[in-house]
């Protein structure tokens, strides 16, 4: 899994929340993808880009049809690929085609919370995830009533809000629960499977590997 996979996954998740019709057959333009859906400030922390150039190079790869994630005008996609192969790669060539339309490949759209896109340590096997969940349940069962109540309080107690919004990259006012620039919640949620705290930027639980919003009862 590399930056291209992570960018595509975040792209799909944003569309799933904000423009689900695109996941069916509605096209987007290059300009819409770059300027509205996954602009650099919104996506840089979620994907982990080190620079704006890394973002543009990865976006160009995606728009060029690498790994068949997206379909578009073949000549334009060839033009983008040619730019990446130059001695000094042209990672901004897509800006010359703002109105070119692009579609998602329906065979490449992952289901919500697809474990393939979780961090590597959580993708090594579903058995590992199941064992982690059962281990946590056994630990909780071994606690005394007082200890269990204290552990529940610790797990549900909100952490300090993030200093930088994981969605838009802005620095909200100290103590903000929601980002005043994009509305993103800055306090952690709680995993419905094991009860661990979830960072607002996470799509999967770091303890048990469950997808955000899922639960063992619904699995």
Q: What is the pLDDT of residues 122-181, one digit of tens each?
A: 444 444 445 444 555 565 566 566 655 554 444 444 455 566 776 666 766 666 777 777
Backbone conformation region of residue 67, classed left if phi is above 0, alpha if psi is from -120 to 50, else beta: left
Give the chain's length: 219
pTM greater than 0.85: no
Instruction: Classify strands 28-29 and 189-190 as parallel, antiparallel or unpaired.
Output: unpaired
Which residues of the chain carry a pLDDT beneath 70?
113-163, 166-169, 171-175, 188, 199-201, 213-219
């Amino acid at each position: 899994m590399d930056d291209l996979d992570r960018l595509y996954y975040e792209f799909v998740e944003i569309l799933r929340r904000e423009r689900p019709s695109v996941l069916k057959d509605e096209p987007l333009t290059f300009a819409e993808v770059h300027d509205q859906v996954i602009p650099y400030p919104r996506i840089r922390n979620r994907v982990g880009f080190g620079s704006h150039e890394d973002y543009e190079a990865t976006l160009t790869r995606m728009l060029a049809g690498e790994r068949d994630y997206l379909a578009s005008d073949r000549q334009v996609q060839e033009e983008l690929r040619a730019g990446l192969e130059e001695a000094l790669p042209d990672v901004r060539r897509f800006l010359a085609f703002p109105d070119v339309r692009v579609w998602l490949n329906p065979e490449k759209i992952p289901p919500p919370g697809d474990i393939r896109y979780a961090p590597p340590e959580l993708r090594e096997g579903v058995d590992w995830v199941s064992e982690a969940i059962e281990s946590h349940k056994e630990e909780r069962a071994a606690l005394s009533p007082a200890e269990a109540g204290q552990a529940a309080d610790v797990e549900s107690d909100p952490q300090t809000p993030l200093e930088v919004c994981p969605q838009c990259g802005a620095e909200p006012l100290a103590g903000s629960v929601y980002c005043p620039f994009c509305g993103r919640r800055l306090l952690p949620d709680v995993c419905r499977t094991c009860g661990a705290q979830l960072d607002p930027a996470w799509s999967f639980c770091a303890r048990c590997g469950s997808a955000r919003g899922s639960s063992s009862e619904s699995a």
